[in-house]
Structure 1
Amino acid sequence: MVTGTIVDEYKSPITIERLWRAAIIDAHNLMPKLLPQIISSIEILEGDGGVGTITKFNFTDAVEKYRYVKDRVEAMDHENHVFKYSIVEGGILGVKVNSYVAEVSFTSASDGGCLAKLKIEYESLGESLLTEEEAADIKSGILAMVKAVDGYLLGNFNAYA
């Protein structure tokens, strides 16, 4: 087993508070509406959305490799806009990695938007890191959700205001 880190960032024109509320706090309601071709539903299995909450993302047939993924909220810092979660079942867990913890953070930008940063730390199943293609797939999946929220918020100025 080896440990690896995946990082990425995305510049959003949306204010930090609106993006935080839509992409993090209300993701379980919003994502299936914005990405119905990928996410069929999101269920809160345990908890109230805060630390310890377990959520199940159910994928459509468009996601050929995985049917679902269960995440547990590890940290939810509303003041500093930091959200950290781990995969507890499904997805790449047990297939490609032994463990997977992701952190999404938002910082305000001088132009009124914000910068979304992604950091994923994982432990591989074997003696090699995830391939560049596998890492790119993970990043694109997570950032696709943020970009979908961006598009929605740009077209719905009063949403999450």
Structure 2
Amino acid sequence: MGVFTYETEIVTAIPPAKMFQSLVIEGDQLIPKIVPKAFKSVELIEGDGGPGSIKKITFGEGSQFNYIKHKVETLDKDNFTYCYSVIEGDALMNTLEKITYETKLLASPEGGSICKSTSKYYTIGDIEIKEEEIKAGKEKALGLFKAIEAYLLANPDA
């Protein structure tokens, strides 16, 4: 098994507490509402939403994938950190054992936040991950983040 790690940093005008609340705490309800073509539903299969919980994400008609299941690894509301692993679904493409995403939101000097994200791809055997696959995944994550940011800027009381 190989492990490939990628880091991303995104700056937003949204303060960390509000972004974390929307992206992580209320994300299961909010994300399918904001991007319904990409996300059909998020269903809690096991647990209460905290560490150890399993969620099934069903993608919309606009997605190349049908579904994934992810396991919440850590959730720290006070420090705005969240970690989950994709453990099942066609997004693993029969080449990945799992993908782990760690996200931390930090306050930026301008009053918004900096989102620092680390993605770890655990391959089956010695399979190599193509750079274009990683780039596509990063672009989708950035698109989702920017969609939530746009929603919050357009709906400041949300």
TM-score (norm 1): 0.92
Equivalent pair of 2:92/2:98 in contact (CA under 8 Å): yes
Superposition pairs of residues 16-27 of structure 1, within 5 angstroms:
16-27=16-27
Equivalent pair of 1:107/1:114 in contact (CA under 8 Å): yes
Q: Structure 1 unaligned runs (5+)?
A: none
Give, in angstroms, the shift of residue 94 of structure 1. Answer: 5.5
In structure 1, the residue matched to 2:87 is 88
Equivalent pair of 1:96/1:124 in contact (CA under 8 Å): yes
Equivalent pair of 2:95/2:127 in contact (CA under 8 Å): no
Q: How many residues align?
A: 158
Superposition misfits of 4+ residues, deviation over 6 angstroms: none
Whole-angstrom CA distance in 1 between matches of 2:76 and 2:130:
31
TM-score (norm 2): 0.94
SS at match of 1:92: helix
Superposition pairs of residues 59-78 of structure 1, within 5 angstroms:
59-64=59-64, 66-78=65-77
> Percent identity, aligned pairs only?
31
In structure 1, the residue matched to 2:112 is 113
Aligned amino acid, residue 129 of structure 1: E
Whole-angstrom CA distance in 1 between matches of 2:6 and 2:136:
11
Equivalent pair of 1:38/1:62 in contact (CA under 8 Å): yes
- RMSD of Structure 2 on Structure 1 (CA): 1.3
Whole-angstrom CA distance in 2 between matches of 1:15 and 1:42:
25
1:97 aligns with 2:99: no
